[in-house]
Structure formats: structure tokens, C-alpha cells
Structure 1
Amino acid sequence: MGNLLSGPSAPRARLRELLAGPGPLVAPGAYDALSARLVEQAGFDVVYMTGFGTTASLVGRPDVGLLSGTEMVDNARRIAAAVDVPVIADADTGYGNAINVVRTVQLYEQAGVAGIHLEDQVMPKKCGHMSGKAVIGAEEMAGKIRAAVAARRDPDFLLIARTDSAAVEGLDAAIARARSYAEAGADVLFVEAPTSEDDIARVADELKGVAPLVFNWAEGGRTPPITLDRIGELGFSLVLYPIGTLLAATAGIRSFLETLRAEGTPASTLPDLPTFEGFTDLIGLPEIHDLESRFRP
């Protein structure tokens, strides 16, 4: 997994195969290459590059449109290179108009990810579970989706259309927008932040058969935390758990630092941490030793 000399085998075709399988595909969030490797090593079949987590990890700030497309693509490239499983990446609004979307799609495709999602927010965007969002017109977003379809060079590169309009225009408008984005060529539909189980069920029922659907299980967000079995019953094909790894890492680091400050050394924390040798094995040191032996003069 994620070996230096073995790249992933057809990750885009693999992602489409997984989405067509029984039950929802689970995609835990990763915010950097290390967290992506941990997701893969835990046995998950796909990694989701979270924009929220990318912003927090790169600049230590909230997800309010502070990162450029270049910064997001660079992170996606590092994550895709670190794992062999398919990577789905947040591509925000496409970083501009339809012409910008063309370049965004091509850059993410060159970065090696298997798919992206594009959203219909006004730039600068906000995390989908924050207040104060605004959306562009549905026709403008449909044009951006058509541009994305035209821009991709690999037909297996997955294009997910996300609408944030439920919080702005209501659920009826969000469902209508999702239908129009499917007509524009989106492969998968993503209605962000329904706020009740009834709304979740409406999205699933009214968009059933239009395209595969994403459920965003945003940890602590505005959408009710329903069970994976229920998500499957409703017919969602892909479930994102975007920020749990980031929150877990934050809690672990904070606890470690509190102990260090109180006790002066980290000695009492070591039994709960990976060993030095265990961690270096986890990040691939045995492979480096093998390569050193292989290429030694």
C-alpha cells in the first residue's frame, strides 16, 4: 500500500466499481498524507481529502475559502501519492468561473485523484455546515459542470456536483438544482447539509435513479447522525466522514501537550503512543531499507 515504486492500479475505474457495489461506500476524511495512509491501513477502500481539514492543517484557520486552488491541488497530489486506494478530493467552487473549472479539473486529474466534488457556492465559500452561505445561479453552476465534463481527459474521472442551496433557497430548490446538475453531466449528486431525517429521506427518494448520491456524515455538523444501515436503506452510494480524523488528532495532541506541560516530560504518555519503531514501520521505513539493499552499488 502506497509503495514508492508501485503506483495505484486504475484508481478511477476502481472507484466507479466500488460505487456500483452493494451498500454505501465509506470514505473517511484525510487532511494530509499521513492521515491518508492511516485510513488506507485501517482497511478502507477510498480516502476523502477534506477541504475543512486541509485548511485547518495547512494554515490553522477555518474553512472559509482561504486556500487557493494550487494549495488544494498540492495537498491532493501528496495524498494520492501516499496511498494506493482511490482518492476523492474537495475542489470547492472550482476556484472561479467555468473557465477556471476547466483548469481545476485538469490539475486535479494530473494530481492523480480519482474524483472531485464541485459546489455551487459564491466565492469565497464556507464550510457547508456553517451559516452565512450564498450560492450562484443554478444555470451558472450547470455551465460549470458542463465545463468540468468537457475538461476531463479520463472518462473514469468522477465528477460530483454538490449543492449548498438547501440552507439558502430551501430543500425543493436544492433537489431541483441537483437534477439540473445531473442533466449537465455530473456523475454523482451531493445535497449538502439537510437538517432532519425527513429531509434526508426526501433527498434520497426524489433523486433516486437520477444519479448515485453522497451523504455527508459531518461530525458535529447540522445533518442528523443517522446509522450506516439507515443510510444504506435510503439508497445513498457514498458516505463521507470528513473531519473525524482531524478532530481525533486534535484531541490526542492537546492531551499530550497538557501532560507535557503539567509533568515536564512525556514519559507517562508513552504507553498510549506508537513506539518509535512501530511508527517508522507504519510510514514505510522497511521499504526504504529494501530499496537501499536493492540499489546499493
Structure 2
Amino acid sequence: MRNFEKQRNEFNHLIYDKEILNIVVVPDALAAKVAEKAGFKAVFCAGYATSASTLGLPDRGILDFGEMYQKVKEIVAAVDIPVFVDGDTGYGDPENVARTIRCYEAAGAAGIFLEDQVWPKRCGHMAGKSVVPTEELEEKLRVAAAARRHDNFLIMSRTDSRQMYGLDEAINRSKRYKAAGADMIFIEAPESIAEMKIIADTFPDTPLMANMIEDGATPMATTKELEEIGFSFVVHPCALTYAQTYADEEVLTELHDTGRTTKTQKQMVTFDKFNHFVGLDELNQCDNQYSAEAMTDTLALIADKMKEEA
């Protein structure tokens, strides 16, 4: 049974390293395997992508704990790199927060974030958000820190208060969240590079996350630019979800209109490359190593050696 100590330690190293960590939200286990083979050092399991891939619905608090927990387990089982997890609001009162922490930690997640939105929450770049009193997330963060079984399971605070109350309120809340037990800080949806620099200057010794969402409220910046500003890691939450939706639409339109994939096949991976991504080579190697014929040959070699020694 995997104990995930390696993944948690590796995630800690990546977060506290001087070089910024570039991670991507993966909507499913296949995307996680592709990301790992592409060279990503960690991946992120988040509600926006999971709600779309699992339910075909927007990120509006419809996805429940059980569905998210199942997705976390699937993604963690598919890869050997660390998996960071979206904990939303903790799915209820403090006791539910404790359960969320224990379950995600046991499933193999390397860390989690908890946010201060009112449930049912919504994507951080959607209009119409509202947040709970600061004290409510402070209590949840204290509970989360006490509930974790490993100190290297990292906890991040997320505040969505910038949109409603401005940057100063978001910073003040984040200071209190850090004092309550958050190891890392995420201020959602700053509206300019200048605001991002203020956040980084305010928390020079605390790991900070930047959220780069296409067509979102925050200006898009390169990983290098974010590192220079002072962010510890950057996440791309929608890139794969939008790319998959685009690909689905292109392929299905051609199939519907022509009954073939002559045009879109040029953008597909090949049969052999797909099998590489899903690990067919490793599975075949395992079959060959432990097949009846291979085990018979191994036993025969052992028997011959025992005779020689006798």
C-alpha cells in the first residue's frame, strides 16, 4: 500500500524551492498521465474541471464531496507525481472540514486549499460571488491543521473577497488565515499585475499561488514573469478543459457532417502514442515477467541452481 510520503515531501520541496512550480489542473486520470509524461512535476485536481468532466455542469457548487473525492482517488492512483486538491469550502461545518482533510490526505493528496466563499460556491472568476465572515474560514483552517496526520500535508487558504471588497480586504483576510494555520496563500482574481506585486510584497516569506485562467479577471502572465513578481507556483485551471471541449466539438462536428475524421485525424494522437500514454508497454512487460511461462522458467533455474549447490 502506498503511503504517499514521497509525494508529500516532493511537493513541499517544489513549493519552497526558489524556482516557481508550474502545474496544470487535470480533469481526469488520463489527462494526469499525459501531464506526467509531458514533464509536469505536479498536477492539480480542481472543482471547475471536475464538475465539467464528471457532470457536464458549471462550477456552481453542484459537485459534491463524494464525487470530488472519487476523482481525487482516480487521479492519485494514475500518477507518481504529487497531486494538489481543491477542497472548496470543506463541504460543511468544521467536523466536515476535518473529514475532508482526513479523506483527501488518506487518498494521497499532497495538499489542499480551503476557501471563504458562501456555499454553494462558484468559480472564482464568475460574477455574483459572496464570502463568509473571516472568522468562519479561520476556524476551518484551525480544524484542518489539527486534523491532518502529516505536517507535510500542506494547507492553503483561498479568499474570494477581492471582487466584492477590494484588495486590502483580501490581504487582511489572508493575514488572518495565515495566522490561523494556512501554510500557503491564494488571493483569487487580482485585477492587475500591480495588484499581484502588492500581494507578493505583502507576503514575501509565504508560498503564493497565481491562477492563470484564459479570459479570466486576472491578466495572463508567463511563468517566468510570475516567478519574478514573487509567486511560488502557478496553476492553469481551465487549459485542458477548454482544449478538450474544443477538440470534442471539432471531431464530433466532422463526424456528424461527413461520417469520417479525415480532417481532424491530423490533430489526433496515433494508436501507438495513445497506448504509450495509458501504459500499455508497462502492462505488457508485467504480463511477460509474471506469465506462467516466465514463472516456470524461473522455477526451473532455481531448481537447477539448488541441484548444483547440493
Q: How does 1:88-103 map to 2 (within 5 A)?
A: 88-103=84-99
Match of 1:262 in 2: 257
1:18 to 1, 9, 14: 14
With 19-28 and 152-161 compared, the bigger mean Cα shift is at 19-28
1:271 to 253, 266, 269: 266
Q: Matches of 1:6 and 1:83 in 2, distance apart?
A: 12
Say if 2:73 is the partner of 1:77: yes
Deviation at 1:23, TM superposition (A): 2.4
- Structure 2 letter corresponding to 1:92: D
- The structure with the largest helix share of the pair is 2
Match of 2:275 in 1: 280
1:247 to 242, 256, 271: 242
Q: Matches of 1:208 and 1:220 in 2, distance apart?
A: 28
Q: How does 1:1-297 map to 2 (within 5 A)?
A: 10-209=6-205, 211-297=206-292
Q: Matches of 1:283 and 1:7 in 2, distance apart?
A: 23
Q: Matches of 2:286 and 2:4 in 1, distance apart?
A: 19
Determine helix, strand or coil for the equivalent of 1:189: strand
Check conservation: 1:7, 1:84, Cα contact below 8 A.
Answer: no
* CA RMSD, Structure 1 to Structure 2 (Å): 1.5
With 273-282 and 66-75 compared, the bigger mean Cα shift is at 273-282
Q: Matches of 1:268 and 1:246 in 2, distance apart?
A: 22
TM value normalised by structure 2: 0.91
- Structure 2 letter corresponding to 1:169: Y
Check conservation: 2:197, 2:230, Cα contact below 8 A.
Answer: no
Check conservation: 1:8, 1:84, Cα contact below 8 A.
Answer: no
Q: Matches of 2:266 and 2:3 in 1, distance apart?
A: 35
Q: Deviations over 1:193-236 (max 9, x none)?
A: 01112211111112222x21111112221101122222111111
- Structure 2 letter corresponding to 1:276: F
Check conservation: 1:36, 1:79, Cα contact below 8 A.
Answer: yes
In structure 2, the gaps of 5 or more residues are 293-310
In 2 relative to 1, CA 196–271 (structure 1 residues): closer, same or farther, beyond 3 Å? closer
Q: Matches of 1:173 and 1:272 in 2, distance apart?
A: 46
Q: Matches of 1:282 and 1:140 in 2, distance apart?
A: 43
Q: Matches of 1:255 and 1:276 in 2, distance apart?
A: 19
TM value normalised by structure 1: 0.95
Q: Segments of 4+ in structure 1 off by > 3 A?
A: 5-9
User: Which of 1 and 2 has greater Rg?
Assistant: 2
Q: Matches of 1:9 and 1:83 in 2, distance apart?
A: 14
In 2 relative to 1, CA 268–218 (structure 1 residues): closer, same or farther, beyond 3 Å? closer
Q: Matches of 2:2 and 2:244 in 1, distance apart?
A: 29
Deviation at 1:8, TM superposition (A): 6.0
Check conservation: 1:49, 1:76, Cα contact below 8 A.
Answer: yes
In 2 relative to 1, CA 9–159 (structure 1 residues): closer, same or farther, beyond 3 Å? closer
Deviation at 1:296, TM superposition (A): 2.2
Check conservation: 2:139, 2:180, Cα contact below 8 A.
Answer: yes
In structure 1, the gaps of 5 or more residues are none
Sequence identity of aligned pairs in percent?
41
With 100-109 and 254-263 compared, the bigger mean Cα shift is at 254-263
Determine helix, strand or coil for the equivalent of 2:84: strand
In 2 relative to 1, CA 112–71 (structure 1 residues): closer, same or farther, beyond 3 Å? same
In 2 relative to 1, CA 130–267 (structure 1 residues): closer, same or farther, beyond 3 Å? same
Check conservation: 2:250, 2:264, Cα contact below 8 A.
Answer: no
